[in-house]
Chains A and B, each alone.
Chain A
Amino acid sequence: MHASVAAVQFQPRKGEIEANLERIGEIFAQLAGEEPPDLIIFPEACTTGYFLEGAVHELARSAEEYVEELQRRWRAAAGSRRVDVVLGFYEHESGTVYNAALYATLGGERAQLRHVHRKLFLPTYGVFDEARFVSRGRRISSFATSAFPSAILICEDAWHSISATVAALKGAQLVLIPSASPGRGIAGPEIETVAHWRTLLQNTALEHGVYIVYAGLVGFEGGKGFTGTSMIVAPDGRCVASGPPFDECVVRATLDSDAIDVARAGLPFIGDLRSVLPDLLLDQELPLPHGGRVAP
């Protein structure tokens, strides 16, 4: 099995959902006209911009609304041809707002919303203030797609190694990471946060034998520059494609299931973890609910 993926480094217009969807439609047309990918990944908060503060309540939409908009635009660009899309957005669901990403299959007669991931780890320190404005998700899931079983992690979700561990344990072979990372660190030729991301993604891919596709937002919001630097990392830990800082672009690669099998044969860590995990979870010193005991 193989799949052609495209991570889009996207620069939104702040708060202008319609204009950003129009731009996404243009990108659809470009990709459909070149070598149509099987999967397109857009960054976190890409229809509105990231730093919204209280305006998030004015700009959050439902996943279904976005799927409808995306379907219309993909159909205009590519007709009935199918494509999977990941889109980071602020979600409004039953009166609650989340930082979310949807996974949908577009094309054909009807679009299919396969999954919505709601960010669990809401950065609320320094320049970040997410927990003040949005609610957190509660679950990391692996879900079926047109190609690889996949999981979505949004930005800080991926900084906690346990997130990708849970995704891999649940069967994900492809971890999709929409992100909006404001760059910091000027001591070396590469932005420090970009270097950290690369190390993190390479280690995560290597540990679990998974593909990682990371799509980064670009552009400046109130002085904060989102770095982009989208990356596609193979299950052996190699970064096979990456985008430059600050520029819009599309980062593409073809993913092959053989690479996952080969990587896991060489480093069978996820299999090892499956066998050891029950002992780890039964450890009563772990700060779990129920007074440190795992519920029977």
Chain B
Amino acid sequence: MPLRAIRADGILPEEPLAIDAALVERWLVRFLADELVRRRGIRTAVVGLSGGVDSAVTAYLCARALGPENLICVRMPYATSSRASLDHAAMVIADLGCRERTIEITGAVDGYLQFEPDADGRRRGNVMARTRMLVLFDLSQRYGGLPIGTGNKSERLLGYFTWHADDAPPLNPLGDLFKTQVWALARQLGVSREIVEKAPTADLVEGLTDEGELGITYQRADPILAYLLLGYRDQTLHRAGFTYAEVQLVRRRLESTHWKRHLPTTAMLTNTAINEFYLRPVDY
């Protein structure tokens, strides 16, 4: 009788994106409470709600950490923003029972762009993103709160965000979670299925989705990113079922955007250059 074979196949960890969403919820709620209240003495969070899943999840986490009465959700539509985005943001606000502001940014954005009428879609999108951040920081000042970032790890790694806009808030609970993990967390938090299941979009150009613009779905990009960060080579990923074209696309975006994940490059001239020699932690 032949011996029964017990085999371990494959080199890659099988589920690099697996998360226990309940654990992550507890962890991030604790992170927000600790960093806001205990460390900074701030009890109010200001979150820009786009209508998408990242900002919805961020809002739910803030409401859990601080109470909905201490969360101000801000909707910032531009003239071309979709109605669905506004409605989805309204669903989050209604479900959480938090405070709300709606600031139309069309006047501010167009006030500048009238001097640059030929600006292309990318520039216009960047102006909108930076205008929204201006609003969030100013409202935070008004309400004695802190703007909370909503960027996830996938878009940070792919460089799919506006520098010094989406990444500007001083606290970010989702920055170490891939997009597909944010979806899992959204389900855990009870975010409406309509929001979780819709195609992710920056809502800058009608009909244009993240995945359409990136040329790859998050379901494919996220495991590739996860494996690349762990140090696996292209050939190993290919053997695991990813095409070389997919791996190259992701690797190119990752490797061409390291600068976007750093502070500005400063000329070092002395032995006391800040963050080079003079090293102090952010919470000191």
Interface residues of A (CB under 8 A from B): 14-15, 49, 51-55, 183, 186-191, 219-223, 225, 246
Contact = CB atoms under 8 A, between A and B. Distances in A.
B19 A187 contact: yes
Given A220-B30, A220-B34, A52 B281 contact: yes
B5 interface: no
A187 B18 contact: yes
Binding site of A, secondary structure by majority: helix, strand, loop or mixed?
Answer: loop
A222 B31 contact: no
Contact of A15 (B23, B30, B34, B284): B284
B7 interface: no
A186 B27 contact: yes
Given A183-B27, A219-B34, A54 B280 contact: yes
Given A189-B22, A219-B34, A225 B27 contact: yes
A51 B283 CA distance: 9
**Which of A15, A183, A186 is most buried by chain B, counting CB atoms within 10 A of its CB?**
A186
Contact of B278 (A14, A54, A191, A223): A54
A14 B283 CA distance: 7
7 contacts: A14-B39, A51-B281, A53-B279, A53-B284, A55-B284, A191-B27, A222-B281
Interface of B: 15, 18-20, 22-24, 26-27, 30-31, 34-35, 38-39, 278-284
Contacts of B35: 220, 223
Contact of A222 (B24, B26, B278, B283): B283
Contact of B30 (A55, A188, A246): A246
Given A220-B34, A225-B31, 18 more contacts: A14-B281, A14-B283, A15-B284, A53-B281, A54-B279, A54-B280, A55-B284, A186-B20, A186-B23, A188-B18, A189-B22, A189-B23, A219-B38, A220-B30, A220-B35, A222-B282, A223-B31, A246-B27
